[in-house]
Structure formats: C-alpha cells, structure tokens
C-alpha cells in the first residue's frame, strides 16, 4: 500500500507570494492533518480535514487555509508569505479522525521564503 505522498518536495518563494501544497493520503484514509515543523517551534498542528470538512484547527493566522476533496486528497494554501513561514510542512493521514487513530506522515514539503 502506498504511503502518504506530498508535492512538491521543495519550494522556494518570495515574501508576499502565495503557495499551495498537496497531500495524497494512504488509500482508505479519510482524515488528513497538516503540521508545520521548524527548528524554533517544533511540530505544530495547523488543521485536520475529514470528509471534506475542517474538524480541528491550530493557532495559525487566517493566511493558512486548507481544503479536502472527495477523494480525501488535501491541499493547504498559504497566502502573503512571510519569512517566518519557511518550514517543513508535513501532512499525515489516518483512517478516521486523529485522536484515536494512528497518523502516518508524508515526507513533507520544504518551503523556503526569501
């Protein structure tokens, strides 16, 4: 069974631009969660989608948004990029809502904002 895939793997953007990252969960998994990982803050929860609805949200500004499609694939978008948005963005999938289920992570998208 294929694991969680994320595209692109690497991205360089400049301040003020916007970016869209994509995540394909493990087949049969309906929940997708997004995390930001930085050396300064560790692993921080962005949001979780299940059945195309956002079910949980972390403490990030509204510039960070996401969506989930009917095939469970998910995208996250960051608008008006700031230097501090440089990070590894990880998505994780689970069969149902995370909390009682194991989350499996993708390799991440490394975003560099210049």
Partner 1 sequence: GESVGLHLPTLSVQEGDNSIINCAYSNSASDYFIWYKQESGKGPQFIIDIRSNMDKRQGQRVTVLLNKTVKHLSLQIAATQPGDSAVYFCAEADSGTYKYIFGTGTRLKVLA
Binding region for partner 1 (CB under 8 A) = 4, 33, 35, 38-43, 45, 48, 55-56, 84, 90, 92, 97-108
Rounded to a whole number of angstroms, the minimum distance from the CB of residue 46 to partner 1 is 12
- Give how far Cα 104 sits from Cα of 33, 90, 107, Å: 10, 10, 10
- Closer to partner 1 by CB, 28 or 100: give it: 100
Check: CB of residue 81 under 8 Å from CB of residue 19: yes
- Closer to partner 1 by CB, 66 or 108: give it: 108
Backbone angles phi, psi at 85, to 5 degrees: -85, -5
Rounded to a whole number of angstroms, the minimum distance from the CB of residue 71 to partner 1 is 21
- Closer to partner 1 by CB, 58 or 67: give it: 58
Check: CB of residue 66 under 8 Å from CB of residue 78: no
């Amino acid at each position: 069974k294929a694991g969680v895939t994320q595209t692109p793997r690497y991205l360089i953007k400049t301040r003020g631009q916007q970016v869209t990252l994509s995540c394909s969960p493990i087949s049969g998994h309906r929940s997708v969660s997004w995390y930001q990982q930085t050396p300064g803050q560790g692993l921080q929860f962005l949001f979780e989608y299940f059945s195309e609805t956002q079910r949980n949200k972390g403490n990030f500004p509204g510039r960070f948004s996401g969506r989930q499609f009917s095939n469970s694939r998910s995208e996250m978008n960051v608008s008006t990029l700031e230097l501090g948005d440089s990070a590894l963005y990880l998505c994780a999938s689970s069969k149902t809502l995370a909390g009682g289920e194991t989350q499996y992570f993708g390799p991440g998208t490394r975003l560099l904002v210049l």
